[in-house]
Amino acid sequence: MTSFWIVTVVLAIAMAALLVLALIRGQRHTGPAEAFDVQVYRDQLTEVDRDLQRGVISEEDAERLRTEISRRILTADAKIQSTGTAGAQPRVLGLVTGAFIAAFVVGGSYWIYAQIGAPGYGDLGLAQRLEMAEMARENRPTQEEAEAQLPATDDTEIQEEYAALVQRLRGAVAERPGDLQGHILLARSEAAMGNYTKAYAAQQQVLSIKGDDATGKDYADLADMMVLAAGGYVSPEAERVLEAALTRDPQNGVGQYYMGLMMAQTGRPDVAFRLWDRLLRQSPADAAWLPPIMAQIEEMAFRAGVADYQVPRLAGMPGPSAGDVDAAGEMSPEERQDMIRGMVARLSDRLATEGGTPEEWARLISSLAVLGDEAQAIAIWNNAQEVFADNPDALDVVREGARAAGLVL
């Protein structure tokens, strides 16, 4: 790395020296206009003598011309003498300008490299980058370490009646450790309350009870709770659970999404992009993992070196009208964000006044989360639980939207 900086500094100084040298040479060969005039007048005197010898002019005319030319030489020479001291000023100015150019070239080059380069890194070839990614994957924090590093957060507002029911459920499963349905319900309830560590502990008990009958979805749910408990980080323990989920169900969308996230977190955006792009094209429009993928895949494509990536339009996925697209093309990023918020607000108002399908409720919750309005997403999720309390199938659809928003498992 030291040799790189030595070569860089030497090249920058050499380029600056060439610019300064060209400036000084230009000044050296440039003098006052009167000096040029004097040379011209002297040539004219020589020409007068030559014309006199050839008989072109008379002696009287030659004398008159010599007198006039000599007068002009004296006048020009006087001007040269009067500006002789001032002539040193351009040379001083040239040296100052040269020093400024040298400082600008050297300092400017370093500043540009500090902004767009990677100070401290050597030349990283593909093999070395892959090796570093593998080392990052092997040496990343454990689940316990990741959970310990998370800052304390405010407790999610939970209705007292619901909290009391969960407390009784905890006592019930403690007395009946083999109660499969009780642990399933407890895992979901703890996740709904934001107690993800307790949620995945209950889900681990579900897997223990099921044994060989545990499905890919059971393992994917466990990994989901572990990732949420670690603040969105995929730990080595969660990765092993994801591998178990995908071994049982290679098409599991939750498992594929989190496996791509793990690759992105360990320096393999190329693998993450391929996983997410394939999952994006294979998933139904109401899949819970689509909103987080849609929010991140363009950046992942850029990191993977795919500069011209276009997010595919999925069949069945609602989108803006042609007029909305035309208007968005002329908007600033802030105006487009305001337009999206307006569309989400209109959907929220319609669901509140007219009702809607479970898919629309799920879409609203996940959209609010993407916009960063988590408090409103939680409020909509709580409202949806009341609206669909008597319709478990519909509530499961809405829960998928809450899952995509990170509110439940």
Query: Looking at residue 118, what is its pLDDT?
Result: 58
pLDDT tens per residue across span 25-82:
655 544 555 666 777 778 888 888 888 888 878 888 888 888 888 888 788 777 767 6
Distance between CA atoms of residues 277 and 279, nearest Å: 5
The answer to pTM > 0.75 is: no
DSSP result, 341-381:
HHHHHHHHHHHHHT---HHHHHHHHHHHHHTT-HHHHHHHH
Which contiguous run of DSSP H or E holds residue 105?
helix 88-116
Residue spans of the domains in the chain: they are 2-116
pLDDT tens per residue across span 80-104:
676 654 455 555 655 677 677 767 7
**Average pLDDT for 233-257:** 94
- Match 């980058």 to its residue by tokens: 129
Query: Residue 176 pLDDT > 80, yes or no?
Result: yes
- Match 């400024």 to its residue by tokens: 100
Query: Residue 365 pLDDT > 90, yes or no?
Result: no
**Average pLDDT for 248-277:** 92
Task: With CA atoms as reference, report the closest residue to 289 among 313, 256, 320, 262.
Answer: 256
Distance between CA atoms of residues 365 and 344, nearest Å: 10
Q: Are 398 and 384 in contact (CB under 8 A)?
A: yes
Query: Looking at residue 235, what is its pLDDT?
Result: 93
